[in-house]
């Protein structure tokens, strides 16, 4: 099993380019179910979650080929050979539920295992099911599977979410694109990855208005064509890489993603005393102050502070001069990195959904264990800033969402290596 070794205390300097957005690609790939024509997706990162979605789609009948570059996938679902998304695949990743809406829209039936993934909260799929029922689907939960069917086509409907769910918004946009009539999604999620999904759908012939707002209108069409689409850059990876020079010092340019997607995050970095210069699809981060100021963070749906950057921001707060507060409003169990940061010398108290962090000036290298995707990278950031050596185990969590992270950091001067320990 792979581990990562970090020798901390090195200032960083250079340029890095983020990979394509994992969360965008995990929605774009199931789009192929909606059409018998091929879809080419560019800027696809090499990640274990992408591999899992690939495995799932192949099991349903998709033909998936890597093109001249491994970052380009051709996904062709000429016909559906199976309507069953098996537990053995779905258990690995919660995004697997995104095949449910497209299967129902194209085939009128689907059997999808209840999904698994990171242990950061329940993340129930009830909003997905609520919306599909509104569109005329009959649903039955039995033996850990969602059995779904519809007579004829799904019907357009007005669906108001009790809270903004990215996955449910994506699933219902895809389903509504082939439904009969018009669907209106109220209190829809506004994330850039949803806009990216809609852009691809529109290029396939879908009729969608309002993406990027809380009200999305989809007028169903009879069929969709293929598409060639470039996935946007990964804003969470950009934020993560920005935190590295912010914590250890130096100057790094991070390219490949629109910094406008990170406005709330950038505001907090500036508050902490970090110098930020934004450009078109790039941002330059420079640590000028000798100390970091404390910050108070509340995670919210986009355009608020991303929950996927909370763990990384906590690592920075551990170095600040004073007391910071981080309140998690999206997932109820997203502080599993706290005990590991404490092993490195952090002072953190957790009460309910709020973590109070008292800055310690510097961290100490230690053996630590990743518990989920974003927790794993928070430990790597802490290791970069720590005195001594940090060994991070269970880095398979990291490989779900970060492509070649250690290589990108080492190119800027970090002393970080991956090794295998049998």
Q: Scan for tokens 């690995």, then name that residue.
A: 92
- Taking the C-alpha atoms of residue 381 and residue 321, their distance in angstroms, rounded to an integer, is 18
Output the six-digit token pair for 167.
């996955």
Check if the beta carbon of residue 232 is closer than 8 Å to that of residue 21.
yes
- Taking the C-alpha atoms of residue 30 and residue 278, their distance in angstroms, rounded to an integer, is 33
Torsion sign (Cα): 196, 197, 198, 201: positive
In a 3-state reduction of DSSP, which class is residue 350?
Answer: strand
Q: Scan for tokens 């940061």, then name that residue.
A: 341
DSSP of 44-82: ----HHHHHHHHHHHHHT-EEEE-SSTT-EEEE-SS-S-
Q: Which residues contact 82 (CB under 8 A, 6 or more apart)?
A: 59, 60, 61
Catalytic residue of the set 25, 118, 198, 200: 118
Check if the beta carbon of residue 374 is closer than 8 Å to that of residue 412.
no
Annotated active-site residue 118? The verdict is: yes
Q: Is 99 exposed, middle or buried (0-12, 13-18, 19+ CB in 10 A)?
A: buried
Rounded to the nearest angstrom, the gap between the alpha carbon of residue 199 and the centroid of all alpha carbons in its chain is: 18
* Active site amino acids: 118
């Amino acid at each position: 099993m792979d581990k990562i070794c970090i020798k901390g205390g090195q200032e960083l300097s250079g340029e890095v380019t983020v990979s394509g957005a994992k969360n965008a690609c995990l929605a774009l790939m199931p789009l192929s179910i909606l059409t018998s024509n091929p879809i080419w997706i560019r800027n696809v990162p090499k990640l274990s979650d992408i591999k899992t979605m690939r495995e799932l789609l192949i099991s349903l009948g998709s033909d998936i080929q890597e093109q001249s570059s491994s970052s380009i996938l051709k996904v062709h679902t000429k016909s559906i050979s199976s309507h069953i998304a098996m537990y053995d695949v779905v258990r690995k990743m919660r995004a697997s539920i995104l095949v449910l809406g497209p299967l129902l829209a194209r085939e009128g039936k689907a059997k999808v295992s209840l999904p698994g993934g990171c242990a950061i909260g329940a993340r129930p799929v009830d909003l997905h099911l609520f919306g599909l029922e509104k569109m005329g689907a009959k649903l039955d939960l039995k033996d850990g599977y969602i059995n779904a069917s519809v007579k004829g086509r799904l019907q357009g409907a007005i669906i108001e979410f009790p809270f903004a769910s990215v996955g449910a918004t994506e699933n219902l946009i895809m389903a509504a694109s082939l439904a009969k009539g018009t669907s209106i999604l109220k209190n829809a999620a506004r994330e850039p990855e949803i806009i990216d999904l809609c852009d691809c759908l529109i290029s396939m012939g879908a009729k969608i208005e309002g993406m990027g707002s809380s009200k999305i209108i989809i007028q169903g069409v009879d069929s969709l064509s293929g598409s060639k689409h470039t996935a946007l850059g990964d804003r969470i990876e950009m934020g993560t890489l920005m935190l590295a020079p912010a914590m250890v010092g130096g100057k790094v340019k991070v390219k490949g993603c629109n910094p406008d997607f990170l406005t709330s995050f950038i505001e907090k970095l500036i508050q902490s005393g970090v110098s930020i210069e934004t450009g078109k699809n790039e941002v330059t981060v420079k640590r000028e102050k000798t100390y970091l100021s404390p910050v108070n963070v509340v995670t919210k749906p986009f355009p608020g502070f991303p929950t996927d950057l909370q763990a990384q921001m906590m690592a920075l707060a551990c170095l600040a001069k004073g007391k910071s507060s981080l309140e998690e409003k999206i997932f109820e169990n997203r502080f599993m990195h706290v005990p590991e940061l404490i092993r490195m010398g952090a002072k953190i108290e957790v009460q309910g959904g709020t973590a109070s962090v008292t800055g310690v000036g510097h961290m100490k290298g230690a053996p630590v264990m990743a518990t989920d995707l974003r927790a794993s990278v928070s430990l790597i950031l802490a290791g970069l800033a720590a005195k001594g050596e940090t060994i991070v185990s269970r880095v398979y969590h990291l490989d779900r969402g970060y492509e070649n992270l250690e290589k990108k950091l080492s190119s800027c001067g970090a002393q970080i290596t991956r090794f295998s320990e049998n």
